[in-house]
Structures are given as C-alpha cells and as structure tokens.
Amino acid sequence: QVQLVESGGGLVQPGGSLRLSCAASGSIFRLDIMGWYRQAPGKQRDLVATVSSAGSTNYADSVEGRFTISRDNAKNTVYLQMNSLKPEDTAVYYCNRKEFRPSTPTDYWGQGTQVTVSS
C-alpha cells in the first residue's frame, strides 16, 4: 500500500522559510487530493493546504499568501513552501493523501515532521 515520508522540517527564525517534502511510494492511485495538516501541542490537527491530482489548490486563511503547495506527479512528491514564518506556525506537519476509488476511498498519513519558529 501507499507510504508517505516527510522531510524538511527544522528550526527557523521568524520571517524565515522552509520547504517540506512528502514522497509517496507503493501503488499510487491517480485520482487523489494530497494535503498538509499541522498539529501544535494541545491543539487539534488542522488543514493547511491541499492540491488535487488536477492541480487545484486550497489554503487555510492563516497561511494564504505565505505558503505554497505544489506537486510533482512524475516523482510522486508533494511540497509545501513556507515563507514569512511566524511563531504560531510551530507544529508537527503531516502529509495526507486521499484516494477516491469508486467504492473504497482511502486515507494515508505520513509520520510528521517538526517545524519550530523561534528567535
């Protein structure tokens, strides 16, 4: 089945940038929505951004204009470019893949990567 592996997290100062990557392996179903979610300590896991197999994107209001989601279908990889980072962006970021099979839609999750924004 599908495995998602995230990378690119780390420590950055406010105003800095990071680029997260999520590489998918296994049997990849082509009709899907891939996205990034994040979860801060003691808080709910929230959607950050999504990109469909056709390239349509959607962003949470809190990151609109600062973050950019993209995908490379040839490499089975989705990216999250994060600019103008704020301390409130600190969280574990998770890659998600939703596959829309005719009768059995399926969710997959990565292991998460830590992003810390601090001076």
The DSSP result for 32-83, as a single string, is EEEEEEEE-TTS--EEEEEEETT--EEE-TTTTTTEEEEEETTTTEEEEEE-
The predicted pLDDT at position 105 comes to 84
Distance CA 9, CA 17 (A): 10
The predicted pLDDT at position 95 comes to 97
Mean pLDDT by 10 residues, the chain (119 residues): 94 98 86 95 96 94 97 92 98 95 89 97
